Amino acid sequence: MPLIHPALLQSVQPTSTAPAAIRAGVPFVPERFLADEPRELDLPDLRDLVAGLAAAEHLWQPLVRHDPRRRWYTRLVLSGAVEVWLIGWCPGQQTDIHDHGGALGALAVAAGVLDEDECGRDWSISRTRQHGTGAVAGFGTDHVHRIVNRGQLRATTIHAYSPPELPLRYAPRQLASLDQPVPLDRADVAQRGARSAAVAAGAGAGAARVTTAAPPTTDPFAPRPRAGHPRLTSGMSV
């Protein structure tokens, strides 16, 4: 039986075979993502899933928290096919350099701006890309990176991984402790000012507006056993 955050219960695509409690609502989480048996999704599926959830501001905005003491996160979906996380980032918060254990993944920036330090096979940073509100990034099974909020504003992201709950691998400690990003691509440099201004304008008016359908240690980016799933909550995981 898939685990679904209560906030999404009214957004699962109705089907005749789905449990009665999840047969109503808008198809933000289509049935193919909720298989209980092991199943691997493809990258377009993951990108579409996080993009749709990020665009559904009314679903994630009441849930997300931004804790300056530590990065906040909660799991939205866990099935045999995928796991989905909602994460709140305060300025200065980041993950360690990591891969995803052979899983495909995607992230969507629901609000704010984050940097992604992409790394090579030697775990060293090869380039830094900036992802603003509405951006969607997908990554393959061998992708290595670090996500950082280097700005002055809070950010919110939604992440999906398939297959779910694979153990992550981390850079050697001496590399993971380095915090020197490489210069942004020319295209990113040109867009940084416009994106930052747009985020600032949105924050001044309240919550940043998502305009398009556009991963750590003991949190979403840590190894987790498949058996005995913990109950989903909207608070901080430990």
User: pLDDT tens digit string along 91-139?
Assistant: 999 999 999 999 999 999 999 999 999 999 889 999 999 999 999 999 9
Confirm whether residue 98 is marked as ligand binding: yes
Q: Averaged over 3-32, what is the pLDDT?
A: 61
Using the predicted structure, report yes or no on whether residue 209 has a pLDDT greater than 60.
no
Residue showing tokens 């999906």: 160
Using the predicted structure, report yes or no on whether residue 89 has a pLDDT greater than 60.
yes
Confirm whether residue 159 is marked as ligand binding: no
pLDDT above 90 coverage of the chain, percent: 52
User: What rounded mean pLDDT belongs to the chain?
Assistant: 75
Do 169 and 117 form a contact (C-beta atoms < 8 A)? no
Residue 229 lies in a domain: no
Residue 86 lies in a domain: yes
- Measuring CA to CA, how many Å separate 134 from each of 126, 180, 205? 24, 26, 17
Predicted pLDDT of residue 16? 45
Residue 197 lies in a domain: yes
Q: Which two tokens stand for residue 174?
A: 């001496």
Residue 80 lies in a domain: yes
Residue 178 lies in a domain: no
Residue 55 lies in a domain: yes
The parent domain of residue 51 ranges over 3-173+185-204
Count of beta carbons in the 10 Å neighbourhood of residue 74: 22
pLDDT digits (tens, 9 = 90+) for 164-194: 999 989 988 745 555 554 444 433 333 443 4
Higher pLDDT, 199 or 158: 158
Residue 212 lies in a domain: no
pLDDT above 70 coverage of the chain, percent: 65
Name the phi and psi angles at 9, rounded to 5: -60, -30
Confirm whether residue 100 is marked as ligand binding: yes
What's the domain count of the chain? 1
Task: Find the CATH number of the domain harbouring 192.
Answer: 2.60.120.10
To the question of pTM greater than 0.75 for the whole model, the response is no
3-state DSSP of the chain: CCEECHHHCCEECCCCCCCHHHCCECCCECHHHHCCCCCCCCHHHHHHHHHHHHHCHHHHCCCCCCCCCCCEEEEEEECCCCEEEEEEECCCCECCCECCCCCEEEEEEEECCEEEEEECCCCCEEEEEEECCCCEEEECCCCEEEEECCCCCCEEEEEEEECCCCCCCECCHHHHCCCCCCCECHHHHHHHHHHHHHHHHHHHCCCCCCCCCCCCCCCCCCCCCCCCCCCCCCCCCC
Residue 144 lies in a domain: yes
Using the predicted structure, report yes or no on whether residue 227 has a pLDDT greater than 80.
no
User: Of the spans 72-76, 216-220, 233-237, which averages the highest pLDDT?
Assistant: 72-76
Q: Averaged over 76-81, what is the pLDDT?
A: 94
Predicted pLDDT of residue 178? 54
